[in-house]
Structures are given as C-alpha cells and as structure tokens.
A and B are shown apart, each in its own frame.
Chain A
Amino acid sequence: MKRVFKIEFSLSGDLAELYEITLRSKDDKILLGQINRSLFASGMLQHLSALIAQGGLEKSESIRAKKIMGRLLHKALGPVLSSISPSVLSQQTSIAKNTYANRDIVLKGIERLKQVIQNTALPAEIILNEAQIFKKKLDKFLYQLGS
C-alpha cells in the first residue's frame, strides 16, 4: 500500500473565502503546510468516524481505521493541549464572573482531555467526542473573552 500521497487541488468560491479567513487568523509561527495538513486531517477524521458509525466500512477496514485514528488523535491532541493553557488562560484580568466559571471548566477540560488521550485503550470515537466537547467549551470561553 502506498504510504505517501501528494495532494494538490485548488479552492474557489465560498471554500476559498473560508480558507482566506483561516489563513488570516493563523499564528505566524505555524507553517502553512502544517495548517493545510491539520485541516485535511480533521476533515478526514470527521468523515471516517461518521462512515464507521453508519456502518459504511467493512468490519476489518473499520477496525484498522479506528486504530490509526486513535494513534493520530493521541499524537495530535497532546501538543494542542499544552499550547492552550499558558497563552490563553492567564492573560485576562477583569472578566465577568461567569467567564471565570467557564475558564475553570476549560482548565478542567484540559486535564480531562490529557487523561483521555493518555489512555491508549480508548476507542478513537470516544477520544474524538471528548475532543469535540472540549472544543465547544473552549470556543464558548473564547467567545465570552472576546465580547
């Protein structure tokens, strides 16, 4: 089986507009290739987990995909989590009471997700669901912080 793929495609219309917004919001330290790869990876993870849940993959293929997805999530989420806590959570000084509460929820969420990704026996769907839940809470907190 081929293990290296070079993928080239063009974006236009709405997709190109969204990509532009994504690039404008990116941290300068992050390489363009990294962004592209992670966008592609997150789309593929979502697509495959939906496909597995709907029984769209053969059993052996689904077991193989889940194993790889689990590995990928373990590798990807660790650095993401350690990059969030110091930069985002310690800079605000006067924020509303409920934002403080949400910051605690995010901090707890980081600890929880760290533990989840350390558990190599957990199925990929569970890790993915836990990561999505954490992202929702983080987004809510960042939205409150921004407003």
Chain B
Amino acid sequence: MALNIKGDNISGASILGRRCLDLFLDCLQRGRERSKEDLFEQLVVVGRDLIKAQPSMASVFNRINFALSVAKDASVQTVSVEEAKNLISREIRRYQNENEKALERIAEFGSQIISGWDTVMTYSASSLVEAILICTKRSGKRFTVIVPESRPMFEGTRMALRLCQQEVKCSLIVDAAISKFIDRANVLLVGADRVTEDTLVNKVGTRGVALLAKAASVPIYAAFETDKFLPRRYLPVVDRQQDPAQICETTDQYLTVQNIYFEETPLDYFFGFVTEKGIVSPEELGTTLGEPSVIQELTGFSSVELTGGSQC
C-alpha cells in the first residue's frame, strides 16, 4: 500500500493526503484484528510507513496523525473492535467531507486575488491552484496563465492540459524560460506540500521562481489547506534522492545526477497565503495555523529513516 503512495511522484500533497485516509478506511474494512490494541498497533505501522513513503507531504503526516488520534480515543471509548472501526471510519469520512469544503473555500478566496486582466504564473502542479484558476474562470474573468512544464515529471504540462479542458487560456513554457516570461506575469500563485515555522516546502524551483518574481515586482501568493502546517520538531525537512534516470538515462563514473523534488522558500517572500480560513499575510499566518497536537506514536522520525539513507 505504502509502495503505491511512494511511487506517486505526480500527485500533489492534497491528493496524496486524501488517498492516505482512503487507505486507512480500506485497512479498517479488510483488517481481521482480534483486539482494539491490535487494531491500533496495526494502524500505527501503516501510518508510519505512509509517512516514510512521502516525508515531504505534511498533509499525509497530519491526516495520519488525525486518524491515529481518533483510533487511540476509540480504543478507550468503545467496547468491541467493530465498534472502534465504525467510529474511526465515521470520523475519517467527516474529516474528508470537511476537507472537501475547505478546498471549495480556498478556490473562492483564491479567485479574489486574480483580476480579469491578470496574467498568472504558476509553478509545478497543485490541485488547489488548479481549483482556484477554474473557479476564477467560472466567475467570468478573462485572465491567462503561464505554466512552466516542471521537469523532470512534467506535472506542469499535465496541469496546463487539464486547465485547457476547462477553457482556461494557458501558455506552456520550458522551466528555463521562466526568467523571460516572469515580466509578463502580474501575479505568481503556487501550491505547497508543507509549511513549516518559516518556510514553504514545494517543488524544487519554487524558490528560484519566487526570487525572479520579487526582482520583477510580481506579487507572490501560495495556496494551501491549514493542515499542511507541520513544524520541523515533529518531522525534519528532508531532500530525498529520486531516480537519476528521470533526468539522464546514461550513466558515467564522472557523472552524478542530483534529482531532488522539493525545496524550501522563506515565508516572507510571499504577499499572502490563501487558506480555507481566508487570505492571510505572512505576519498573520502563525495565528491562523495554530499549534498542531501530534500523538506520541508519530514522534521520533529521523532524517536517515525518512530518506532511506539517500539524503543529498
């Protein structure tokens, strides 16, 4: 199960977070645990494996944390394993419904920062950015989008094609052309895989695009659900080496291929953040995000454990 999540290098954090909870529901249906304690232990094993599969995705961590917190409470509050499973499943579905509503709110809030004449530049692919752009289009605004292809997995190209199906006008560019096209943009909008105390973790290249936007006086916004906030003390930010063949299939003893997917961008590069609670400034973000409460079973991950020893 965790292998499917680990092998997914195209989906964004929001989608992977949702899939993790679906996997939990699947475990609850299929599991044959005899006691509530066995059930909880089994869920902890699955949860830790999923976190190790996608260590940069805060929504994976936070949603597993939510499910395990519910499971822990359920083992005290319920009498039988079946009762516990029913309670956990119900709570997970409730969380997912709330998350769906949060996405709709983000799409609506986000559409308020795009005007009818805007040229929006984005980077990589984000289901939230996509939802914002589609919502803006449906509100009747005539904006255009510049989408870099986002090597090595070309998730930007895929997003551009999906946007075109929704009649959103897109210009697809190679990543190296960002510096040329940034002057034409009048807003940069990106998603996020994770937000820490002082940085936003997203596809590698985000920091570069943000620096170019700053230099070209282009306002920068990021869209994310508040459950993407995860301070470093709960989980270190890691750079895991990905498959070198995604960049270059030829090997040579003198060649080292560095294929990493994520990087951190300081939060103070951004003008504002689009969340389900509204659009907030960097100064207000701390208050908006609050302090997560992490169960003990999910503490103590080491960088080596998360990267499998392949850290850059």
* A residues apposed to B, CB below 8 Å: 52-53, 101, 105, 107-109, 111-112, 114-116, 119, 121-123, 125-126, 129-130, 133, 136-137
Contacts and interface: CB of A to CB of B under 8 A. Distances in A.
Contacts of B278: 121
Interface string B272-312: 10000011111110000000000000000000000000000
B219 A123 contact: no
A40 B120 CA distance: 34
Contacts of B114: 115
Interface string B223-240: 000000000000000000
Given A116-B113, A125-B281, A137-B217, A108 B272 contact: no
Contact of B271 (A53, A101, A126, A136): A126
A123 B115 contact: no
Interface string B112-136: 1111111100000000000000000
Contacts of B117: 107-108, 111-112
A112 to B, nearest CB: 4
Interface residue tally on B, bucketed by range: 20 to 34
Contact of B112 (A108, A119, A130): A119
Contacts of B96: none
A122 B279 contact: yes
A111 B113 CA distance: 11
A53 B283 contact: yes
B13 interface: no
Given A116-B115, A119-B112, 16 more contacts: A52-B283, A53-B283, A105-B186, A108-B186, A111-B116, A111-B117, A115-B114, A121-B112, A121-B279, A123-B279, A123-B284, A125-B283, A126-B271, A126-B272, A130-B271, A133-B219
Contacts of B218: 133
Nearest to B280: A123
A108 B144 CA distance: 12
Contacts of A116: 113, 115
A129 B271 contact: yes
A112 B219 CA distance: 11
Nearest to A135: B217
Nearest to B283: A53
B278 to A, nearest CB: 6
A123 B112 CA distance: 13
From B118, B217, B218, B279, name the one whose CB has the most chain A CB atoms within 10 angstroms. B217
Nearest to B114: A115
Contacts of A108: 115, 117-119, 186
A114 B186 CA distance: 14
Contacts of A126: 271-272, 279, 281
B145 interface: no
Contacts of A101: 183
Given A107-B117, A136-B217, A122 B272 contact: yes
Nearest to B112: A119
A112 B279 CA distance: 16
Contacts of B112: 115, 119, 121-122
Interface in B5-42: none
A115 B187 CA distance: 13
A115 B283 contact: no
A142 B186 CA distance: 18
Contacts of B183: 101, 105
A127 B112 CA distance: 13
Given A108-B118, A130-B219, A133-B217, A123 B113 contact: no
B219 A129 contact: yes
Nearest to A121: B278
